[in-house]
Structure 1
Amino acid sequence: MNSNNPLAPEIEASDWLNTDRPLSLAGLRGRVVVLHAFQMLCPGCVSHGLPQARRIREVFSEEDVAVIGLHTVFEHHDVMGADALRVFVHEYRIGFPVGIDKAAGNGGIPLTMQNYALRGTPSLLLIDRRGHLRLNHFGRIDDLQMGALIGQWVNDSADSTSASTFTADDVAPGRCSVERNS
């Protein structure tokens, strides 16, 4: 196992859209997984993140790359329920699977968002073919840069230990941040 890149935590979804069965990262091993965390009321998600995820789905083979949306609601809980999300997914013609992040018991930060220590939306997670988390990126990322990373990991050998990392300082504006109590 690559100690620099831990296995990605499983997605904790309360429901799934655009798939006839729940998805698991273990079940997707052998493919690069692009997990796009979004909120339907996040301007950066609507203007950049979701269109980018759609373009990734169109460019890369489904045999090599799985694109998954994760609707993770950390604010405005009352207006972003499952029924509203179904309408949003239909209206925006999102064709890839979308998991609804499981709510925390206290109504706070959803479980998958907690497990990945996501800082807000849009967030993009890249998981390599072996199930290792290779990128946890908050905010906007350039299409060309994203395509190069995905292409690198599609072609990575099982023995590769290289990793690219980004920080929140590498991104442009257009993101919705989580305010956490310290």
Structure 2
Amino acid sequence: MSVDERQAPELRVQRWIGVGGESIAPLKLSDLGTGPKVLFAFQHWCRGCHLHGFPTLQRLHGALSAKGVGFAVVQTVFEGADENTFEKLRVNQLKYALPVAFGHDEPPAGATLPTFMEDYRTRGTPWFSVMDAGGRIVFSDFHLDADQLVKGLDLV
């Protein structure tokens, strides 16, 4: 498990949809509650996101959302902007039946990478960033073992 142990940066993603697909104000980490948090980064056109990432997220959400773990999904558009569009957020939210906020993060003017990739030091998609209840990043990597996280995440 890749551990970072630094404090999670505040989210700078500006475009979001809520659980019903409606546009919402930019999400803050505090909006995800006071417990541990799971952030999932994807791209709509990413095969690995659909084969592995979203199914892993579904497993985590099903096992942990009722236990106070907060979830959010961010589409990091570092390539393929014509395919990885804001409209695809709702498509994926419905396809995977995930009642969580989805964000769309394109690089700001003059930047190369989306804010989430820059702030969380991600290297692509699918990517999981997990914070403990104290806000420290305890996992940040491509491949997450859902069963291991469900067993090991401190929910006290």
TM-score, length-scaled by structure 1: 0.72
Q: Which runs of 4+ in 1 moved over 4 A?
A: none
Asked if the contact 1:35/1:124 (under 8 Å) is kept, the reply is: yes
Determine if the alignment matches structure 1 residue 147 to structure 2 residue 127: no
Q: Pick one of 33, 37, 42 that aligns with 2:41.
A: 37
Work out which of the two has the higher radius of gyration on C-alpha atoms and give 1 or 2. 1
Displacement after TM superposition at 1:21 (Å)? 4.6
Structure 1 pair 21–54 and aligned structure 2 pair: CA distance change class (3 A): farther
TM-score, length-scaled by structure 2: 0.83
Counterpart Cα distance in 2 of 1:34 and 1:59: 12
Structure 1 pair 73–27 and aligned structure 2 pair: CA distance change class (3 A): same
Alignment match, 2:121: 117
Alignment match, 1:82: 86
Counterpart Cα distance in 2 of 1:90 and 1:27: 21
Alignment match, 1:53: 57
Question: Higher relative contact order at CA 8 Å, sep ≥6: structure 1 or structure 2?
Answer: 2
Counterpart Cα distance in 2 of 1:85 and 1:98: 6
Deviations 1:22-74 (A, max 9, x none): 42113445210011111111111111111211221111244520111111111
CA RMSD, Structure 1 to Structure 2 (Å): 2.1
Alignment match, 1:7: 7
Counterpart Cα distance in 1 of 2:77 and 2:106: 9
Identity across matched positions, percent: 30
Structure 1 pair 133–29 and aligned structure 2 pair: CA distance change class (3 A): farther
Structure 1 pair 107–91 and aligned structure 2 pair: CA distance change class (3 A): farther
Structure 1 pair 88–143 and aligned structure 2 pair: CA distance change class (3 A): closer
How many residues were matched structurally? Answer: 149
Asked if the contact 1:52/1:143 (under 8 Å) is kept, the reply is: yes
Q: 1:14 is matched by which residue type in structure 2?
A: Q
Q: Any unmatched runs of 5+ in structure 1?
A: 156-182
